[in-house]
Amino acid sequence: MTENPWSYSATCGHLPGTDLAGWSVEASDGRIGTVDEHSDEAGDAYLVVDAGKWIFGKLLLPARAVAEVDTAGRALHLCLAKEKVRDAPQFLSDRHLADRQYREDVVTYYRMAGPCAGDASSL
């Protein structure tokens, strides 16, 4: 892996300190939900996405999955298709911060799901 998956891409337009709660999350082929919570912590940035009725439960997304931040539209555009997000590991609130294996499993899933920013190793 060439870059930290728990950091936003320098080219996505993310502005540290921006409250993303409630923002729309868009896969490359349609809406998947809204940001429920997020972290901007350097090297540990992530999104918890409430997928509503589309997927029952929440998803943990490493920040590197964000391809573009649309501040005017309050939307985050992912580098992944809905199909890839639908089959992702569910967010486990009791494990997402402390369980290194769970976090590595999440990153491994997204790496296998396909390339982000044209580079499969970037996630």
Domain CATH code at residue 33 = 2.30.30
Look at residue 119 in the predicted model and tell me its pLDDT: 44
C-beta of residue 49 within 8 angstroms of C-beta of residue 68: no
Look at residue 69 in the predicted model and tell me its pLDDT: 97
Q: Which residues span the domain enclosing 33?
A: 24-114
Look at residue 65 in the predicted model and tell me its pLDDT: 92
Q: CA-to-CA distance for 117 and 93, rounded, in angstroms?
A: 28
Look at residue 21 in the predicted model and tell me its pLDDT: 97
Look at residue 1 in the predicted model and tell me its pLDDT: 36
In a domain, 3, yes or no: no
Look at residue 114 in the predicted model and tell me its pLDDT: 59
Look at residue 118 in the predicted model and tell me its pLDDT: 41
Look at residue 48 in the predicted model and tell me its pLDDT: 93
pTM of the model: 0.85
Torsion angle, alpha carbons of 105, 108, 110, 116, to 10 = 150
Residue for token pair 């998947």:
32
From first to last of its 123 residues, the chain has per-residue pLDDT tens of 357 888 999 999 999 999 999 999 999 999 999 999 999 988 889 999 998 876 777 888 999 999 999 999 999 999 888 888 888 888 888 887 788 898 888 888 888 765 564 444 455
Q: How many domains does the chain have?
A: 1
In a domain, 12, yes or no: no
In a domain, 120, yes or no: no
